Structures are given as structure tokens and as C-alpha cells.
Structure 1
Amino acid sequence: MTSAANVAGDGAPAMLEGIRVLDLTTVVFGPYCTQTLADLGADVIKVESPGSGDAFRWSARAAATPGMSPGFMAFNRGKRSLALDLKQEDDLARMKDLLVKADVFVVNVRGKALERLGLDYEAVRAINPDIVYVHCVGFGQDGPYADLQAYDDVIQAATGTATLLPRVDGDARPRYLPSLIADKVAGLHAAYASLAALLHRQRTGEGQRVEVPMFEAFSHFMLSEHLGGRSFTPALGPAGYARQLDPDRQPFPTSDGHISIVAYTDDAWSRIFALLDEPDFLAEPRFATARDRVRNQAALYQGMAALTPRFTTEDLLGRCAAAQIPAQAVRDLDAMLDDPHLNGVDFFRRRQHPSEGGYVEMRAPVAFSARPGIDPLPPPRLGEHADARWNGQPSG
């Protein structure tokens, strides 16, 4: 298949129709960026190494074809796969032919390797002066960590993220958050950076190199709330956002599960203890004023935790809704496919893959009134689109 099919559901042009994105990235950081662009209608050609391709293809068991892991499928819909050995002259020439007419080049290969291949920014700009060159790097290239490798674990460690759980539960062992959160956050930064650079080019005709460092992106993401008292000079206290680090502000047990109940404003406390059938709980002198309640917030959470097991989760959800208190049941990951809201908004889409059979696709979460969602290409098998070429004429 040589033509892109990322078009709006009603056949109208998608918002990034005609934008050509050459994707030389692997794992999650870069692929999440380029899939986001594909979800908006961009024509994305993913260049992979012959034989193994993107390492994330092998991150878990495939349903039918080796190299089609669930993680790879989650981050690579809407793309075509072209297998090129960039150490071979003919394949490198093919790559450069694609770059001549590309609008955006997203790459997460380290700088020195790109220079050896002649795919660094200056070399690419020489053949395509107005290209938007998005370099996904581990660390900003002007700093002392510039040449270091970066993966999600490394970035969670370097940003202090691995010390958050110990602050909550008192277990001193540093631990990772069980999500590829740094990769995904950095991927979203790369996506909006690509769009901003495209808009700049549309206004000025000027292409540019855009550097997206995962360390800086995730430091910004985590420290926005967790810089805490160190936001000021001199510091007013330690780093960390106390509300998020409170060991008592956790899901509350019920008679048949757990529930999240949020007391975000002071006036919520009286409603919460009323719906828990203990309206006199706040009569104690230590809860007399708003300042007292802040000072003794741990005792309030502990009081809630002692009362919630008297109720079923469903009962508490109804009571909280009636009292205008935010609440949700704690849902197991395996139960997410049955969530009535997500199914009501068609978030999970049951699709048929040409080689992998039935699979679940999560639609892009953002909805635009001017264009319906697109019908994306299925995640590609390695090298599936050997004759991939750009569609249409150069844009811009």
C-alpha cells in the first residue's frame, strides 16, 4: 500500500493532510510524537532497521506476527513502515530522497551517529532548507549530560521521581512509577513543538532545528508542583507538593473495594462526614476552624478511612454524587475495557488488523468540532511498505 489513509471519517481532509513526517525513532518517546501527528492526519513514514526494526516491536508477546507487540501497536498506528539499512549507500540515498520533500523529520538517533550518516541538521538543511528537524534527545545538547543515553528508568531516577513513593509510604527504597511516563510526556512535548515549528514556517517560510530533551521535559513536568518550598530564594521548605505526598490521602476502603473521594475545598469536609453518617465528627475542637482542619488533615483522612468500610462502593458513589463530592471507584486495569463512560464515547475501538486479527485501538482523546476523527492506517508490519513514497506535491 503506497497511499496514506489518515483522512477524516467523512472523507474531508484531516487537519494535517499534506504534512509529510519522516520518522526515524524507536520505542516510545519519538513514536508517541509521530503517532500524535498521524492522528491529526499527517502522512508518516516510519524508517526502521531491516530484520529487527523498532525495539519496542519485541517488548511483549504478539498475537500472530513476531514483532507486533501490543506496545508497538499502541504507538504506531497511522504510519507506514519502510525498512532501510542506512549503512548501505542505496538505502541512505533513499532516505535522503524522502527528506528532500519531507515537512518534518523526527529523529532520536544520537548526534554523532547522525553526523556519520550525513543526517545531522546542517546536512539535511542543505537538501531541504525549510525542513522542521525535531531531534528527540535524552539530555539538552549544551549540558554536561549531552552524550549520555536516556531511557524512562534513567530519567525517573535523574529527576527525583524515584524518590516520590518513599516520601509517601516511608519505605526508603527509591522506586520507579510503573509507567513509561517520562517517555510519553517527552513525546507530547515533541508533538506540540513540531506543530509550533510548522506554524512558524507557515508564517515566515523558515525551517528550524527543534531540540526536545527528555530530561528537561520531564524535570519541567514533575517539578511544576514538586519544586515546592524550593521555588523561592531563600527556600521556604523542602521540595515536594505536600498534598500529593500525604500518606493518608489515598483511596479509601469500602466493604467491596476501594474508592477515591476528594475533599478539595474546606467546605467539602462537612458534606463528606454527613454522607458518611457522622456529621458530628467535625465537632471536635481540633477541627474548629479552617486552619485547624488544614493542620489536622491527616486525622480527617484517617477518620474517613475508618468510616468508608461501612458502605459499598456503589452506595458511596451515589452519596458523593448527591453531595457534589468528586468520587470514583478504584478500577482494576483489566476492568478498563468495560468502563461505561469510555465505551459511551467510543474510546475503545474493536478493529481487525490485516495480519494480527482482532485488536483494541484507543482513539485520540482530543475531539475537534471542525473535523471528525480520522480512520488511521493499522500499525504496520516491519517493512510492510517497501515502495513507500510521499503522496501529492510538496506542501507550503
Structure 2
Amino acid sequence: MTLALQHLTVVDLTQVMAGPFCCQLLGDLGADVIKVEPVGRGDATREATGHRLPHGESAAFLAVNRNKRGIALDLGDPAGRAAFHRLARDADVVVESFRPGVASRLGVDYPTLRELNPRLVYASISGFGQTGPYAARPGYDLIAQAMSGIMSVTGDPAGDPGKCGIPVADLSAGILSAVGILSACLSRTITGRGQAVDTSLYDAALAMSVWETAELWATGKAPGRLGSAHRVNAPYQAFPTRDGHLTIGANNARLWERLCAVLDRADLRDDPRFAANIDRVRNREELAAELAAALSEKDTDEWVELLLDAGVPAGPIRDYRQACEDPHTLAREMVVEMDHPTEGPVRSLGIPVKLSETAGTIRRVPPGLGEHTDEILRSVGYTDADIGAMRAKGSVS
């Protein structure tokens, strides 16, 4: 099968989360992704103290580095840097996640590589972007969530600010960088020239804050924490049941009336406090208390079935074990299995973008450190003798 991006060669200089996730998305859709890691230590997630599989592989590294070939280069060594320049000369895309200024010191920045390859699309993912007063600051998902405002609206209204449970700044920066890369590649088909793509965790976190900034600019007041509730619709949140929790999205008059019918609470439908959506939003806390009392009479699954049968959007709150075992998850191929050379069968999340004619595939497990060094160097003109000399010097591994 033809793959959508099989004509693209991507050189991945990134580490940890945002950049590797971006490049994995491109690899899933067919790009030949060459992951460049430091000699000896590799990507920081290889040595992370997080969860490891039975034979020692880092679960974090495996999560965002499939569909890549791996090479280990010492970019601080002239021979290693020259090898990287050869890769960049023949590549379509380079993606890096250094703090601004580091790529220039290493000689792998966009102005340098553009001279070698004017068609190159060069994507940078950093904490705060390549410009602005915070550009030189170290950037982490936690810091981006804090400074962008996300933490100020996350958590219980009576509690402390909370971090979103997933690394939303990291992952959204990776997705937006992939969008920017593909946009630049499309532009290149017309202009014949590459360009730089600048994405940051901070910008990405702000870009996700569409409802919150809309409220700020409409009211002049900074929005606060609402727990699981919605800013402009009610009821649209999580509620406790007799044995757990569910979510209900009755965000218009028709669905509100259906919800009241399922709960057998015509009194709520006729209550002037809850007459229109604006009233329900204004009296959100009183409404939630009334609904929680009604929902405490049955178990989650029973309520979900009744609500869905009535056409009211609803769903149970599940943990990740339950979500990954759900028949719909499996039907959508969102949990897949890879055959790892040391760990055997390992599970991975599937490809979230389904293309009807050029569907993505999982063709490679995440590479070992320097697994494809010889193969990749030969492809850009190095002989076995050249490679042996570079390895002996520590320029590659």
C-alpha cells in the first residue's frame, strides 16, 4: 500500500515527548524518520527512572519512537557533525528540540543547514519559542501549563490549581508542529523552498485555551476553576452515581428536557432557576446538587444505558485499564501489538488518524540506540572503513 508520507525523509533530533511524538505521527503516516541520538546515552527517556518492561526497556521511550530508524552521532565532534550535515543535505525535514541557541552552537541550526539544502523544512520545538523574553528559559510541560493559565482553571473550585492529567502542552506542541511541517512541505511544492517552523509548549498550551480566553475577553475577568463543568453549558460535567461516576452532556433545551424525563424530575424542568441554559450555567452548583441526588439512586452502567436510549449524551468515567480494554477501543485499532526484539510482544497506542486510501501503518518498533547507524551512514556515501574509523573515534555508535 502507498503511504501518504512515504516520499518524506525526516531527521529527528528531538528527545523526550513533544518532538518524538511529532516525528512518530509523521512516521506512522509513512515518513522515513531517522532518529539521531547522542552517542552513549541516547534519548533522555532511555535512562529515565520511569516504568520499565521486564527486560529493561524504557516504557516512555517505546511510547513515542516507533516507525523510526536510529543512529547515534556526537554532534560536538567534527566528524559526527559532518555526518549529520550529510543527512540534512538529503532530508526533507529536520526536527529539533534544543533550547534556542544550542543548535547554532552545534552547527545544526537552520541558517547552516539551509545553505546545504534550500528545500529543507526545519522545525524547532522549544519551551517558549525562538523569540520573546522567555525564549532562553528551560521549558517543560508543567511550566507551560502553569504560565499559560491552564493550571489556574484545572481542579476543584475549592482546591488548589491542578495540572492536567496528561502532558497537554507537550502533546499539543507535537501535533501542531506536525501541522506546521506538513504545511511547509505543501508550500514547498509551489515555491521550491523550505522554511523554518517554530512551535513551543507555551504557545501550544495557550492555543488550547479557546473557551477560557473567550470568557476573559467577553467579561474582562480571568476564568476560574470549574472542576469537570463546562464554561458555557450546563449540565455538562461529571456526576456521582450509586457505584461510581458518569458524565452527562445535556447542553441544549431538547437534551435538558430528555434528561429530566429519564430522571423523572419534571420539577427540575419547570424550575425557573434552570429554565434556559444561561440560567442553568448561572445556577450550576444548585443544579449539580439536584442531579447528583437523583443519580445516586442507580449504578453508573444502568444510568448510561437509560440516558443513551433517550438520546442524552452520557458516558462512564473509566480508568486507563478499562479504556484500553473497551471493545470500541479495540475496534478502532487504538491498541496494537508490536514484536520487540528483547521484550517480545509489547502494546502501543494505535494510529489516531484513519486515511481511507493511504492508511498509516506500524512498520518498525522503536530502535535500539544506534541500531541503524551503519545502514544510514552507508546511504549517504560512507564506506565501511569510514564508519569503522568514526566509531573508533567515538564520533558515532
Q: Distance in 2 between matches of 1:388 and 1:199?
A: 29
- Deviation at residue 337 of structure 1 after TM alignment: 2.1
What's the counterpart of residue 27 of structure 2?
Answer: 38
What's the counterpart of residue 150 of structure 1?
Answer: 139
Residues matched between the structures, number: 376
Kindly report the root-mean-square deviation, in angstroms, between the aligned alpha carbons of the 2 structures: 2.3
The within-5 A match list for 1:200-239 is 200-222=187-209, 224-232=210-218, 235-239=219-223
**Distance verdict in 2 for CA 1:200–1:376, change over 3 Å:** same
Contact 1:193 1:210 in 2 (8 A): yes
> Residue type of the partner of 2:21?
Y
**Distance verdict in 2 for CA 1:152–1:295, change over 3 Å:** closer
The within-5 A match list for 1:297-312 is 297-312=284-299
Query: Does the alignment pair 1:339 with 2:329?
Result: no
What's the counterpart of residue 157 of structure 2?
Answer: 169
Query: Does the alignment pair 1:327 with 2:311?
Result: no
Q: Deviations over 1:168-224 (max 9, x none)?
A: 4212x33322221100000001001000000011111011111112212221212x1
**Distance verdict in 2 for CA 1:51–1:377, change over 3 Å:** same
Question: 108-117 or 299-308, which moves further after superposition?
Answer: 108-117
**Distance verdict in 2 for CA 1:98–1:65, change over 3 Å:** farther
Q: Distance in 2 between matches of 1:337 and 1:289?
A: 38
Q: Distance in 2 between matches of 1:144 and 1:289?
A: 46
Contact 1:29 1:184 in 2 (8 A): yes
Does the residue aligned with 1:251 lie in a helix, a strand or coil?
Answer: strand
Q: Distance in 2 between matches of 1:291 and 1:86?
A: 59
Contact 1:229 1:240 in 2 (8 A): no
Identity among equivalent pairs (%): 36
- Deviation at residue 127 of structure 1 after TM alignment: 1.0
Contact 1:80 1:388 in 2 (8 A): no
Query: Does the alignment pair 1:47 with 2:36?
Result: yes
- Deviation at residue 294 of structure 1 after TM alignment: 4.3
Contact 1:99 1:105 in 2 (8 A): yes
Query: Does the alignment pair 1:63 with 2:47?
Result: no
Does the residue aligned with 2:373 lie in a helix, a strand or coil?
Answer: coil
Q: Distance in 2 between matches of 1:230 and 1:317?
A: 34
**Distance verdict in 2 for CA 1:221–1:287, change over 3 Å:** closer
Q: Deviations over 1:273-322 (max 9, x none)?
A: 21112233333343455654444333222211001111122221221112
Comparing both chains, which one has the higher relative contact order based on Cα–Cα distances under 8 Å and sequence gaps of 6 or more? Answer: 1
**Distance verdict in 2 for CA 1:98–1:331, change over 3 Å:** same
Q: Distance in 2 between matches of 1:371 and 1:337?
A: 25
- Deviation at residue 229 of structure 1 after TM alignment: 3.5
> Residue type of the partner of 2:115?
A
> Residue type of the partner of 1:227?
T
What's the counterpart of residue 78 of structure 1?
Answer: 67
What's the counterpart of residue 384 of structure 1?
Answer: 371
Does the residue aligned with 1:123 lie in a helix, a strand or coil?
Answer: helix
What's the counterpart of residue 113 of structure 1?
Answer: 102
**Distance verdict in 2 for CA 1:241–1:90, change over 3 Å:** same
Q: Distance in 2 between matches of 1:23 and 1:292?
A: 51
- Deviation at residue 357 of structure 1 after TM alignment: 1.3
Question: 89-98 or 369-378, which moves further after superposition?
Answer: 369-378
Q: Distance in 2 between matches of 1:315 and 1:392?
A: 60
> Residue type of the partner of 1:148?
R
Structure 1: tracts of 5 or more residues without a match: 1-11
Q: Distance in 1 between matches of 2:350 and 2:242?
A: 35
Query: Does the alignment pair 1:100 with 2:50?
Result: no
Q: Deviations over 1:311-342 (max 9, x none)?
A: 12222122111210001111112222211101
Query: Does the alignment pair 1:255 with 2:253?
Result: no
What's the counterpart of residue 391 of structure 2?
Answer: none
> Residue type of the partner of 1:18?
H
What's the counterpart of residue 20 of structure 1?
Answer: 9
**Distance verdict in 2 for CA 1:392–1:17, change over 3 Å:** farther
What's the counterpart of residue 279 of structure 1?
Answer: 266
Does the residue aligned with 2:154 lie in a helix, a strand or coil?
Answer: helix
Q: Distance in 1 between matches of 2:298 and 2:289?
A: 16
Q: Distance in 2 between matches of 1:257 and 1:169?
A: 21
> Residue type of the partner of 1:359?
V
- Deviation at residue 363 of structure 1 after TM alignment: 1.5
Q: Distance in 2 between matches of 1:329 and 1:391?
A: 53
Structure 2: tracts of 5 or more residues without a match: 381-397
What's the counterpart of residue 139 of structure 1?
Answer: 128
> Residue type of the partner of 1:91?
G
> Residue type of the partner of 1:346?
E
> Residue type of the partner of 1:35?
Q
